[in-house]
């Protein structure tokens, strides 16, 4: 991995685009469409330009590094399940009995010496070129603007290195960073993150906080930056465990932060604890914009880099994206760390159209009544799992969790109102659906055990049922039923929303013999023939306490919320591509798409 581009050429089927493309919208749009294809590839843009300022960059932009499962596995050098097995073995390590057992343990213990980062003397390759404070200009980096409504250009694959006030703890996080002018960056570390906790320490002490942002180097650094490590553990320990070699780190030139010696670019500086600036909007990985909000600001002291650096970036928005494959590795590797809190857990799965924190599916051994509910509370109390909004648990007799059709059928045949838990807890900073930020409704579904006793009394066709509903409320515009052969068919309707949907649900009481599970979405922006994006929409848009009712049937209001729902926050918009940009790229032969593809992934 010393030469990431060459490695991707040899192992990742690297796609190279030599056409000059704008860092604003054009490059991100190409990467966005590519990663949605069946066999997506990493892309190197060799001639990025900043058209608005007439800048032509010599520094290439590398995107979609984690383009598919195959290349992700190659980056790790092994299947993530092998890494997980190593963690599981370590967690189960016991004092050896007898000489033979002690000798057998020696190789395992010896390999652990490679876990700890190794501090190097002198400068690293990342410090071959040094740009002093007076000459710092972020415009010299090909920083991207992904979406038309973004508040500016954002570094999207920055490795943010911080340390606690007393220097006892170090952290590597992956946060978006908004460019403010030539020498300042917005620090979007959310309130629950370790870097934010460190910031609180500096703020209380009235001291400026040192930060170094690294870009590039081994792609595994990026994965480590988003890995849900326990509080206080430096993420580069995980790098050493996976690679079985020490991360080699060097001291920043202007602060005490240590970073990997082989990154391509390092941006050093300090964060003033008394200063914040409005950050955003930004089209995030939820597929929605996160709105303007004050965040700390980093003043840059220096930028260092390799002699021929590569600028790594990612694109976020509606799924699927490369975080699908990063999340897959995380999911597999961290399974052993969940099992001590939930020892009868068999497996779990976070589908990408649930944008990870919005939906988790888990398989477990059920040993007693209420066991699944016990697991729900355990999940909601464990690290980053506490941000999960919707959790569905199945028994060990269920199909594999990634067998979507079979698993959905299994769940719907066991869905009962009495086995649904709705409660309240912490939610992700990016969640937009809850009435207040950071706290919202949680949904737990126990789909373990035997099949439900009864299904619908009579199944109507879509046209028949739509006519019946429209006779009650003409604002219902469309209807489609899914999984009609199960005990709980899914009935999805689109509406022209003029009031709270609780009124509609109450008016449909007479249709309860024909409906078991009702999902409501807005007519605008939703396609009843696209279940992938319907799941994405609904799990993004609901707060379980407000939007799920259990009488006269299970009903879920997945519409955009407004004053009719008692929602006082600003509701964000979808991330949408700019049609003119897509058409221009298609005319130049740089992307392939049509209206069917655009509809499939909600591009426009």
Query: Tens digit of pLDDT for each residue in 253-309?
Result: 999 999 999 999 999 999 998 999 999 999 999 999 999 999 999 999 999 999 999
Tell me the HSE value of 139 on the side-chain side, using a 13 A CA sphere.
Answer: 10
Measured distance CA(32)–CA(15) in Å, rounded: 14
Give whole-number Cα distances, 359 to 249, 353, 389, 419, 538, in Å.
Answer: 37, 9, 6, 17, 11
How would you classify residue 499: left for phi > 0, otherwise alpha for psi between -120 and 50, otherwise beta? beta
Closest to 414 (Cα-Cα) out of 400, 402, 398:
398
Once rounded to an integer, what is the mean pLDDT over residues 9-21?
96
- For residue 416, is pLDDT > 70? yes
Each residue's pLDDT tens digit, 469-500: 999 999 999 999 999 999 999 999 999 999 99
Homologous superfamily in CATH for domain 4-312: Electron Transport, Fmn-binding Protein; Chain A (2.30.110.10)
How would you classify residue 13: left for phi > 0, otherwise alpha for psi between -120 and 50, otherwise beta? left
Neighbours of 286 (CB within 10 A): 26
Residue 223 structure tokens: 């994965």
> pLDDT value at position 484?
95
> pLDDT value at position 205?
93
Measured distance CA(522)–CA(167) in Å, rounded: 51
> pLDDT value at position 102?
58
- Are 585 and 29 in contact, with CB atoms under 8 Å apart? yes
Residue 107: strand, helix, or coil: helix
- For residue 189, is pLDDT > 70? yes
Same topology for domains 4-312 and 340-447, yes or no? no
Give me the residues paired with residue 144 across strands.
Answer: 154
Indicate the pLDDT class of residue 106, thresholds 50, 70 and 90.
low
Report the share of the chain in percent with pLDDT over 70.
96
pTM metric for this prediction: 0.93
> pLDDT value at position 231?
79
Indicate the pLDDT class of residue 583, thresholds 50, 70 and 90.
very high
Measured distance CA(590)–CA(21) in Å, rounded: 10
Each residue's pLDDT tens digit, 505-542: 999 999 999 999 999 999 999 999 999 999 999 999 99
Closest to 391 (Cα-Cα) out of 421, 417, 413:
421
Indicate the pLDDT class of residue 420, thresholds 50, 70 and 90.
very high
Each residue's pLDDT tens digit, 558-570: 999 999 999 999 9
- Quote the mean pLDDT of the chain: 93
Indicate the pLDDT class of residue 192, thresholds 50, 70 and 90.
confident
- Are 42 and 70 in contact, with CB atoms under 8 Å apart? no
Phi, psi of 414 (to 5 degrees): -120, 0
Phi, psi of 565 (to 5 degrees): -100, 5
- For residue 425, is pLDDT > 70? yes
- Are 161 and 258 in contact, with CB atoms under 8 Å apart? yes
* First and final C-alpha spacing in the chain: 37
Residue with tokens 């494959």: 325
Going along 111-188, which residue ranges are E strands? 118-119, 129-131, 154-155, 159-163, 170-174, 177-180, 184-187
337 alpha carbon, distance to own chain's centre: 19
Measured distance CA(566)–CA(546) in Å, rounded: 10
Architecture of domain 340-447: 3-Layer(aba) Sandwich (3.40)
Between residues 126 and 94, the one the model is more confident about: 126
**Preceding amide of 320 cis, omega within 30:** yes
Once rounded to an integer, what is the mean pLDDT over residues 111-121?
86
Phi, psi of 44 (to 5 degrees): -110, 120
> pLDDT value at position 105?
56
Between residues 19 and 230, the one the model is more confident about: 19
Indicate the pLDDT class of residue 577, thresholds 50, 70 and 90.
very high
For CA atoms 497, 498, 502, 503, the dihedral sign is: negative
Measured distance CA(551)–CA(223) in Å, rounded: 44
Residue 338 structure tokens: 């969940």
CATH for 462-565, options being 3.40.1670.10, 3.60.21.10, 3.30.413.10, 3.40.50.300: 3.40.1670.10
Each residue's pLDDT tens digit, 208-228: 999 999 999 999 999 999 888
- For residue 343, is pLDDT > 80? yes
Phi, psi of 405 (to 5 degrees): -65, -50
Rg of the chain on CA atoms, in Å: 25
CA dihedral defined by 587, 589, 591, 594, rounded to 10 degrees?
50
Measured distance CA(566)–CA(123) in Å, rounded: 57
Strands 289-290 and 345-349: unpaired
Each residue's pLDDT tens digit, 371-415: 999 989 988 887 788 899 999 999 999 999 999 999 999 999 999
Residue with tokens 């570094």: 155
Each residue's pLDDT tens digit, 357-368: 899 999 999 999
Once rounded to an integer, what is the mean pLDDT over residues 64-88?
93
Domain ranges of the chain: 4-312, 340-447, 462-565
């Amino acid at each position: 991995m010393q030469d990431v581009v060459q490695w991707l050429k040899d192992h990742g089927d690297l796609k190279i685009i030599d056409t000059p493309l704008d860092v604003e919208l054009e490059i991100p749009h190409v990467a966005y469409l590519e990663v949605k294809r069946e066999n997506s590839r990493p892309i190197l843009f060799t001639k990025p330009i900043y058209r608005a300022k007439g800048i032509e960059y010599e520094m290439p932009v590398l995107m979609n590094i984690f383009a598919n499962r195959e290349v992700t596995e190659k980056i790790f050098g092994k299947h993530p399940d092998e890494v997980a097995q190593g963690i599981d073995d370590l967690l189960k390590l016991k004092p050896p009995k007898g000489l033979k057992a002690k000798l057998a343990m020696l190789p395992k213990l010896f390999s652990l010496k490679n876990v700890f980062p190794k501090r190097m003397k002198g400068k690293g390759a990342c410090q071959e070129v040094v740009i002093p404070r007076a000459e710092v200009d972020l415009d010299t980096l090909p920083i991207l603007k992904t979406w038309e409504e973004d508040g500016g250009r954002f570094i999207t694959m920055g490795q943010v290195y911080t340390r606690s006030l007393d220097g006892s703890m170090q952290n590597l996080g992956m946060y978006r960073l908004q460019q403010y002018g030539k020498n300042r960056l917005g620090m979007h570390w959310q309130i629950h993150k370790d870097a934010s906790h460190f910031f609180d320490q500096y703020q209380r002490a009235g001291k400026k906080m040192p930060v170094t942002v690294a870009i590039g180097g081994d792609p595994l650094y990026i994965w480590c930056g988003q890995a849900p490590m326990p509080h206080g553990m430096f993420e580069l320990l995980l790098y050493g465990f996976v690679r079985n070699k020490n991360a080699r780190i060097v001291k920043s030139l202007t602060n005490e932060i240590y970073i990997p010696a082989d990154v391509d670019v390092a941006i050093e500086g300090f964060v003033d604890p008394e200063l914040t600036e409005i950050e955003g909007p930004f089209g995030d990985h939820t597929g929605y914009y996160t709105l303007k909000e004050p965040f700390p600001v980093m003043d840059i002291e220096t930028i260092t880099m390799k002699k021929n650096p590569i600028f790594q970036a990612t694109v976020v928005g509606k799924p699927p994206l490369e975080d699908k494959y990063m999340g897959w590795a995380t999911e597999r590797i961290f399974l052993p760390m969940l099992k001590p809190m939930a020892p009868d857990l068999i497996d779990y799965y976070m589908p990408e159209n649930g944008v990870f924190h919005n939906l988790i599916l888990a398989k477990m051994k059920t040993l007693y009544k209420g066991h699944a509910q016990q697991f729900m509370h355990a999940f909601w109390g464990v690290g980053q799992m506490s941000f999960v909004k919707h959790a569905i648990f199945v028994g060990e007799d269920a199909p594999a969790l990634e067998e979507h059709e079979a698993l959905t059928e299994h769940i719907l045949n066991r869905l009962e109102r009495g086995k649904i838990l709705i409660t309240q807890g912490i939610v992700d900073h990016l969640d937009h659906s809850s009435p207040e930020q950071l706290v919202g409704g949680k949904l737990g579904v126990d789909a373990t055990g035997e099949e439900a006793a009864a299904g619908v009394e009579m199944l109507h066709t879509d046209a028949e049922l739509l006519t019946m509903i429209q006779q009650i409320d003409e604002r219902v515009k469309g209807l489609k039923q899914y999984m009609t052969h199960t005990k709980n068919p899914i009935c999805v309707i689109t509406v022209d929303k003029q009031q709270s949907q609780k009124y509609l649900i109450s008016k449909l009481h007479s249709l309860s013999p024909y409906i078991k599970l009702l999902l409501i979405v807005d007519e605008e922006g939703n396609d009843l023939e696209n279940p992938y994006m319907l799941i994405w929409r609904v799990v993004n848009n609901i707060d379980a306490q407000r939007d799920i009712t259990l009488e006269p049937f299970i009903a879920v209001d997945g519409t955009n919320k407004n004053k009719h729902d008692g929602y006082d926050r600003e509701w964000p918009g979808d991330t949408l591509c700019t049609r003119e940009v897509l058409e221009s790229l298609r005319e130049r032969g740089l992307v392939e798409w049509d209206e069917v593809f655009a509809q499939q992934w909600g591009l426009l």
